[in-house]
Structure 1
């Protein structure tokens, strides 16, 4: 049993923390939401009254927070976790943030700090099947792997500090582009009189196959587990995709990479979010591409 401090019990963090509890670890959790704390305690978690209290004495400390500024404040702010953490504690940030902040944290907090963003959405967090993209020292990654294995199916050491966040930005830019392309194919098929199932049966076993089609199909029917069959309740909300695409474009501008499709995907998802699609799953952008008002 490992003592773990977990800060950030939101839609992703709560099921991740609960999987650690189910794996037999002692988990002290903190969140600003009273409802999240209540749900965590009801499932066997130990409540902390602050982020610093969650960190104090823990062998492993994990954050799962909305943005880089929240992560920086939690770790480095006055009365933050850095001051409360044991010198030998393993530190993991599973939030999706900018590469610069991840590298700053590693420089400040040392070799035991890992950036470990995730892919798999709420369903993956609940099922314990997330993919972790990890940046930092190899020895710290090896030490963290048994803990990450309680929350995810695949763990990839991507390189030095910030490499996990870099991989997440690239992956989600690719995901957004592929989802838009998948949606456009279904919209064209509808205009041509081709059924959803026929297109899926062909493309899912041909050169058009991709995760956005085979696993997360944006129309109801062919993949019963996809959000399209639940009125596009997220999975992965459009607001989060806009955030991740913004991080990718920030990195592309900073490092001089040409990503015209990534920029176009950001503009399309920003438009969809502004049309009241922000809280819907990102696959619901198919409605905007059909020209359907929300």
Structure 2
């Protein structure tokens, strides 16, 4: 469209969005939708989370189902598949929505549960997309999340403006459940990588190598990876990493344990020889149940160091 000789882009469509799950991830995501000009009706079981979202312009709803009434799109960000399915089937979310509403689930859940959610939405006359995210709380706050989407091309195109408001990239991975498949595969890589990087730093400590020296070599060599260069598990080399703030979570260890558990279950069900993935799932499960319950997943370096402490002490190495 032209006005006075200049090309004028059409104004983006303003949508009414229902958003259920306004915690550390969902809260910032909903706030970005408000900032993009959309009307957002939100609900969370936590009164504190709901109040915090209201301060960003989200309109509090009386119930989860109330967010869907009149919404063009309903987004959920919940802990597990059972919560998503219960909300869809038993708590009236699907029933409350107008026919043809798009349901976008950004939770990280089992692939089978994601497919069941798609089926439930379709049976109720709606569209659905599974769109889990990568980037953690930092990515949610900065709107730099990566969305991995599973579902139809039309559903992905319909959700694209909202995904772009909440993140930096959205990838259509394939049919229903494909987004969840991509998420658990990606996080299996991440979990294994973090353990490998942590073990390397603890080994370096035992050999008298400084954290900075190892980082400077690995960050520009074949050991370079996200777990090293962005979420470095030791304080110093990457000032913004959780290690520099006593492992206060960006991506909490229990969430990594959950994701690796999903990957391990899928590997066993598919007969995949994922030895490192299965071992990483075991290590994070133990860490999350113990000292890592309230720590970032990079804090697993502490567990590795504690198990290695006698050897390090014998070598006369101090451990930070």
Q: Using structure 2 for the length normalisation, give the TM-score.
A: 0.89
Report whether the alignment pairs 1:90 with 2:105: no
Worse overlay, 254-263 or 123-132: 254-263
Give the whole-Å Cα distance in 2 for the aligned partners of 1:248 and 1:125. Answer: 23
How far has the Cα of 1:272 moved from its partner? 1.5
Give the whole-Å Cα distance in 1 for the aligned partners of 2:167 and 2:18. Answer: 18
* Match for residue 220 of structure 1 among 204, 210, 235: 235
Give the whole-Å Cα distance in 2 for the aligned partners of 1:65 and 1:179. Answer: 25
Residues 64-83 of structure 1: matches in 2 within 5 Å? 64-77=77-90, 79-83=91-95
Report whether the alignment pairs 1:136 with 2:151: yes
* Match for residue 26 of structure 1 among 39, 50, 53: 39
Counterpart of 1:157 in structure 2 is 172
What per-residue deviation string (whole Å, max 9, x for no partner) do you get for residues 175-216 of structure 1? Answer: 000000000110011111111111111100100100000111
Counterpart of 2:200 in structure 1 is 185
Q: CA RMSD in A?
A: 1.1
Seen in structure 2, the aligned counterparts of structure 1 residues 34 and 222 have a Cα distance that, compared at 3 Å, is same
* Match for residue 298 of structure 2 among 263, 283, 289: 283
Counterpart of 2:49 in structure 1 is 36
Give the whole-Å Cα distance in 1 for the aligned partners of 2:287 and 2:107. Answer: 24
Residues 188-203 of structure 1: matches in 2 within 5 Å? 188-203=203-218
Worse overlay, 228-237 or 107-116: 107-116
Give the whole-Å Cα distance in 2 for the aligned partners of 1:271 and 1:90. Answer: 38
Gaps of 5+ in 1: none
Give the whole-Å Cα distance in 2 for the aligned partners of 1:166 and 1:43. Answer: 32
Report whether the alignment pairs 1:167 with 2:182: yes
Give the secondary structure class of the aligned counterpart of 2:236. coil
Does the aligned pair in 1 maintain the 2:88–2:120 contact within 8 Å? Answer: no
Give the whole-Å Cα distance in 1 for the aligned partners of 2:239 and 2:38. Answer: 34
Gaps of 5+ in 2: 1-13, 310-320
What per-residue deviation string (whole Å, max 9, x for no partner) do you get for residues 77-133 of structure 1? Answer: 1x4111011112111000000000110111221272000000000000000000000
Report whether the alignment pairs 1:3 with 2:16: yes
Give the whole-Å Cα distance in 1 for the aligned partners of 2:222 and 2:55. Answer: 47
Does the aligned pair in 1 maintain the 2:68–2:74 contact within 8 Å? Answer: yes
Counterpart of 2:65 in structure 1 is 52
Moved >3 Å (runs of 4+): none
Counterpart of 1:101 in structure 2 is 113
Worse overlay, 99-108 or 3-12: 99-108
Give the secondary structure class of the aligned counterpart of 2:170. strand
From the CA coordinates, give the structure whose radius of gyration is larger. Answer: 2
Aligned residues: 292
